[in-house]
Amino acid sequence: MNKFRKTLAAFALCVMLAGCNSSGEKVLESASPSPSPSSLPSASTNPNMMAPEVQQQTTPPDEPIIDLYPPAWHKFELTAEENAAYERLKAELNTDVFEGLSPISVAKIYVKAGIDGEWEAEYVCHSPIGFPLSAEDWHQQHIEDLAWSVLESRKSLADWQFALIDDGEVEITGDEAVIIYHSTPYFEEEVPSEVEGEAPDIIVIEPAEEDILETYNEFHMIKNEKGIWEVRFRPHLID
């Protein structure tokens, strides 16, 4: 576990989609917190980000960084209805498949497309309003992201960041919506090694309910002319 901590500190990955922002994790008095996934800066608009130490490099590593996240206490999953819409999205590449879905369901499908590396499906989830990137730009970012880290890391981090979005609150103003939801904060703690003379081991601590409730995340959505929810591009949230 000590090796894991050192590696995570150097190469941690983070999810921060173009439509979302998060902050506010509480620190347990008995724990030494690692940077939460959402607190690290974004390298691109895709759901695969690098820690500052990695971002300082101008070229990707020889091999993509492996999945470094420990198992989370909650799992990000689509419902049967959402999964059916997701399969249609991949086939049709049109947000018409979101007709009748809630903002939360559309946001989840967008996250799922990013997790799976379905860059075309991910791209078309966006509202064209204020969205400056072409499909070619988005595809290039996808290629660059995969050069930095393996695809599996996206699902692992989505379990930390988005697994609780189903319980989020949706605030709708006109044709825009903001999903306010909680994520799972990440805490770790040193414990004495069982081997005399070795450095302490590091364990991941399950957060208490009050710690989860103190996290704050936003995911922004907007309706199109057909009344269908799409992802709202938020350029001011991207470093």
**Hunting for tokens 């917190």 — which residue is that?**
33
In degrees, to the nearest 5, what angle opens at C-alpha 20 toward C-alphas 15 and 22?
75
Q: CA 107 from chain center: how many Å?
A: 11
Two tokens, residue 192: 């004495």
Residue 54 confidence (pLDDT) above 60: no
- Side chain identity at 46, as an amino acid letter? N
| DSSP code of residue 92 | H
Whole-number mean pLDDT of the chain? 79
- Side chain identity at 111, as an amino acid letter? V
Q: Which residues lie closer than 8 Å to 177 by C-beta, 6 or more apart? A: 103, 170, 171, 220, 221, 222, 223, 229
The tens digit of pLDDT for each residue in 171-206 reads 999 999 999 999 999 888 888 888 888 888 888 889
Neighbours of 237 (CB within 10 A): 17
Average pLDDT over residues 16-40: 38
Number of H helices, E strands in the chain: 8, 9
The tens digit of pLDDT for each residue in 57-103 reads 667 788 888 888 899 999 999 999 999 999 999 999 999 999 999 99
Q: Which residues lie closer than 8 Å to 180 by C-beta, 6 or more apart? A: 168, 169, 170, 171, 216, 217, 218
What's the pLDDT at 148? Answer: 86
Sign of CA dihedral 157, 159, 161, 166: positive
pTM summary value: 0.77
In degrees, to the nearest 5, what angle opens at C-alpha 165 toward C-alphas 228 and 32?
145
What's the pLDDT at 57? Answer: 60
Question: How many Cα atoms are found within 13 Å in the side-chain-facing hemisphere of 2?
Answer: 10
What's the pLDDT at 56? Answer: 53
